[in-house]
Chains A and B, each alone.
Chain A
Amino acid sequence: MNQQIDLNALRDAVLQTQSQGRMQPTDEQKTILVSKEGKMIMAGDAGDEERRTMSRVQQDTFHGRPEREALTVQEFMPASTMHHTTPEGYQGWLYSFQCAYGITYRMFAFFDGSYYQVLVLEPKVEEKYRSAHRGHIFKDGHICFGTRYNSGRTTLKQAYAKSVLWATGMSGLLLNKYQIFPMSINNLDD
């Protein structure tokens, strides 16, 4: 292993993985390996023997989950976002925003032990669409973001971002701009 590592490429790979909220890159070639002697190499430049004998670096941020969440809140979420602990013991973030149609939404994003879920607090729409597959919201008020990840998202940032998209779609329904949820192709009728 005599080759020089491109530290800029390594840094780019690490930051990209972190921005995706992952431990390891989606591109296996960008896995970083460390030798017994403390040298680093990208998996794409490593041979079979090196891949077998070297340690894989976990590329997540140098923070725990609470600190990562706080950074996400600070950088990507509304300034008024507040930390909140529910009576059941969930810790999460209360936030509020106005959607593209001018309706104000209040939501609670929390980690359920596996993924990030978002509960819609206001307006109360879960009852309106209780028996329908129209609103992509469950009876308990949490948004169905998709079939994967327990209907949640893998990062707080993704959950927040998609909650804004969902709110815009829901407002389109609430204001009768659309007959079906406009932000999804898998709607079902009442």
Chain B
Amino acid sequence: MTSALFARSAGILSEQLLEKSVMVVGLGSGGSYVTECLARSGVGRFVLLDGECVEADNLCRTTYYSGDIGCTKVSAISRHLQNINPTVAITPFETDLAGVGHKRLAAIVNSVDLIIALTDDPYAQSRLNHYAYYYNKPALFAALYRGAEGGEIIICIPGKTPCMECATGGVREALSRPDADIDYGTGRLSAEPAIIADIHHLDSATVKLALSLLQQDRPELSVSKFLASALAKKLSYLCMSMVPEYWVFPEVFRNTPGQHGYQSMWFTVESRVGCPFCNSSEEREDPSNFPLSPPKIIMQESNKI
């Protein structure tokens, strides 16, 4: 049964993927699709993390079914994965990142081959960046821009590329990227109207980059070459547009005929001086020494100033 998963990908993917473990954090529109595609591509081990339940308004842009409504996203996706590959190994965490606990998260990160961060919480994305870099694990950070008219995928490989914070604090800021809004009530990105076709255009690229990262030890495979050739050119930040005349794309492709929606650009990221994540190892803090949930302080007489 499992070998059938590779029947149509000879020379592109290898059955080694059955032994690879991927941690997917956030099982919304991106996470549900990416996880299922990786299972269909032969990835055999998953750590799934999400604290939410499937709601009816998730169905229009995820891979959930009406029968999944009310179930946790983790349990629903786990069922889907087992229907694709009954031998798949799943470690479920039906909680947000903070609920995992800072010490346990370190053990989980250490146990996987790849982290895919697909949350709508910038703080969680940043903490995952810290863990990934500190524990020397490759990670992908995918995010959609406003209305899914564009999006980005940041590839982080400790020792080979700068970290996600250097990318978002450098390239993103320098180009005044059309960011999504943060909801101050939750600290998470505001949900915005967007269609599944635009969302999964970015997710599809995330899947290919994930497969490429997982197969970097098999350089003869064509999927491996896809990322290897980008990294050889120091390209680790992919930006995509799903609509015509988007952001800086018209400027960049001004002299190229036949341009319209679905464009992409790769950027080189420089490590920031003093970056607390990917700078020299002596100054980095072990992220597992710091709680994942924010502090709560009740003012008492003893700590009145």
Mark A residues whose CB is within 8 Å of B: 21-26, 58, 60, 65, 78, 80-82, 84, 86-90, 92, 94-96, 106, 108, 110-115, 117, 119, 121-122, 129-133, 135-142, 144, 147-151, 154, 188
Contact = CB atoms under 8 A, between A and B. Distances in A.
A189 B248 CA distance: 28
Given A114-B285, A132-B184, A119 B294 contact: yes
Contacts of B65: none
B291 A84 contact: no
Contact of B126 (A89, A94, A150): A150
Interface residues of B, number: 37
Max count, chain A CB within 10 A of own CB: residue among B126, B279, B280: B126
A90 B122 contact: no
Given A23-B274, A24-B273, A115-B276, A90 B295 contact: yes
A23 B305 contact: no
16 contacts: A24-B274, A84-B297, A90-B291, A90-B295, A95-B305, A96-B305, A106-B299, A111-B285, A113-B127, A113-B285, A114-B127, A114-B287, A117-B294, A131-B184, A140-B294, A188-B181
Contact of B184 (A65, A121, A139, A147): A139
Nearest to B290: A113
A95 to B, nearest CB: 6
A147 B173 CA distance: 9
A99 to B, nearest CB: 15
Contact of B296 (A58, A84, A86, A106): A86
A23 B293 CA distance: 28
Contact of A22 (B185, B273, B290, B294): B273
B68 to A, nearest CB: 28
B293 A139 contact: no
A88 B283 contact: no
B282 interface: yes
B94 interface: no
A178 B154 CA distance: 40
Interface in B259-305: 273-274, 276-277, 279-280, 282-283, 285, 287, 289-291, 293-297, 299, 303-305
Contacts of B276: 114-115, 154
B187 A138 contact: yes
A130 B294 CA distance: 16
B70 interface: no
B86 interface: no
B303 A87 contact: no
